[in-house]
A = this chain, B = another copy of it.
Amino acid sequence: MNLLLKEIRHNPLLWLLGFVPVVFVVQKLKPEAHSLLFVLSVLAIVPLAALLSHATESVAAKTGDAVGSLLNATLGNLTELVIALAALRAGQYMLVKASVAGAIVTNALFMLGGSFLLGGLKHHVQEYNRLSARIQAGLLFLAPVALLIPSAISAADSAAQAGLTQKVSLGLAVLLIVTYGLSTLHSLKTHRELFASAEGGEVGDAPWPLGLALVTLAGVTVVVALVSEVFVESVQKAAEAFGMSPAFVGFIVVALVGAAAEMASAFSGARKNRLDLSVGIALGSASQIALFVAPVLVLLSYVIGPTPMDLQFWPGAVVMVLISTLTASLVTNGGRSTWFVGVLVLMVYLIFALTLYLLPPRPQ
């Protein structure tokens, strides 16, 4: 506990933690001040993400990058899962799908590209484990295939496919979850050594003891979930006030804030020349959302949703997911990167963001 307080005193970023209670107080007193709540909740999520990042790194220092990446991805995606569950209960399937597709794209492009750029600005050329990156990119590649194939095949005969889509989605959901399970078995059990780091990489700050790190992880995750809920409630209204289209909000803003925690870990790993950790978090998080969170939501929709949800996304979303995974695949093929590789990946993301931003306010 002393260690935690010392950390907070020395790191000015963590002073922002003061906004956490402010968020809850303002929500109680002025629940209709959406723009204010939006800004406050973003300010509160940032230091929480930083804390989460340090805690996860401390655990990773003890367990190796593979387990650390998995941990990061799982805990980071809790936020996305919480958001999506709220929307699912309300039957807002469009919002669920937009946030899922946006999270895949944001992880595979913004987080990966940002890591390459930030790491590359500090280190001239960075190396990372290409075999593990290739396998993770391959895993991610299943996502657009699963989203694309059903609509491509059934385009052949347009009619009589309403009930069909539902059956196909259910089958695909099971296939994807099985694949995700096997991938975990592969990377943590049978072929653990392939996912070891290419370079040593020194952890800058002294790692916390395991107990403190685990307790912080658990506690901060809960607080992040609570603040996220305030964020979700306020974001749509605030977006209108700031003049953003709903598609932009769903794909970009929600996804960026939802991924803030993992992003802090990934970027700090890249700065410390531990690019394996960064690539692992970015691709691992993207494939976890695609192959675990999304199919679980489909299955859960049978239990808690008003009607079953399918896996049919609007064509623009499928194309964006396809381009994202193709970019991630091509880029991580080589195992070396410089700052410009990061610029390339970020540009693909900016092209998406720009187009979504300028869209008239209807799709999604």
Cα A340 to Cα B333 in complex, Å, equals 18
Q: Are B354 and A175 touching (Cβ within 8 A)? A: yes
Q: Is the CB of A354 within 8 A of B171?
A: yes
A1 located at the interface, meaning its Cβ lies under 8 Å from any Cβ of chain B in the complex: no
Say yes or no: B319 contacts A148, CB within 8 Å. yes
Does A138 contact B331, Cβ atoms closer than 8 Å? yes
Which B residues are in CB contact (< 8 Å) with A351? 142, 145-146, 149, 172, 175
B183/A340 in contact, CB under 8 A: yes
Contact partner of A316 (CB less than 8 A), chosen from B137, B142, B155, is B155
B352 touches A316 (CB 8 A): no
- A316 touching B156, Cβ below 8 Å: yes
Q: Size class of A's contact patch?
A: 35 or more
CB <8 Å contact, A156 and B314: yes
A195 to chain B, nearest CB (A): 11
CB-CB under 8 A for A152 and B347, given A164-B359, A363-B157 = no
Whether the Cβ atoms of A360 and B131 lie closer than 8 Å is no
CB 8 Å contact bits of A139-175 with B (1 = contact, 0 = none): 1011001101110111111001100100110011001
A62 on the B face (CB < 8 A): no
- Choice from B175, B194, B334 contacting A131 with Cβ under 8 Å: B334
Look across to chain B and name the residue whose beta carbon is closest to the beta carbon of A186.
B340
Report B-chain residues with C-beta under 8 Å of the C-beta of A191: 124-125, 338, 340
In the bound assembly, the distance between CA atoms of A150 and B352 in angstroms comes to 8
Of the candidate stretches A12-20, A214-222, A232-240, A322-330, the one touching chain B is: A322-330
- Complex Cα spacing A343 to B181, Å: 11
List CB contacts (< 8 Å) of A104-152 with chain B: 124-125, 130-131, 134-135, 137-139, 141-142, 145-146, 148-150, 152
Let me know if B319 and A358 touch, CB within 8 A.
Answer: no
CA distance A152 to B352 in the complex (A): 10
Q: Give the complex CA separation of A341 and B182 in angstroms.
A: 11
- A139 CB, nearest partner CB in chain B, Å: 6
- B172 contacts A354, CB within 8 Å? yes
Residues of B within 8 A of A183 (CB): 340, 343
A362 contacts the other chain (CB 8 A): yes
Give the shortest distance, in Å, between A39 (CB) and chain B (any CB).
26
Cα A163 to Cα B124 with chains together (Å):
43
The CA of A125 and the CA of B154, in the complex, are separated in Å by 38
How far in angstroms is the closest Cβ of chain B from A80?
Answer: 22
Q: A340-B182, A358-B171 are in contact. Are A319 and B149 (CB under 8 A)?
A: yes
Q: A153-B359, A191-B340 are in contact. List 4 more A-B contacts (CB 8 A).
A: A131-B334, A153-B316, A182-B340, A183-B340
User: Can you give 29 contacting A-B residue pairs, CB < 8 Å?
Assistant: A124-B191, A131-B336, A135-B338, A135-B340, A141-B344, A142-B347, A145-B351, A149-B351, A149-B355, A152-B316, A152-B319, A152-B320, A153-B352, A153-B363, A155-B315, A155-B316, A156-B363, A157-B362, A160-B360, A168-B358, A172-B351, A175-B347, A175-B350, A175-B351, A175-B354, A179-B343, A179-B347, A190-B340, A333-B333
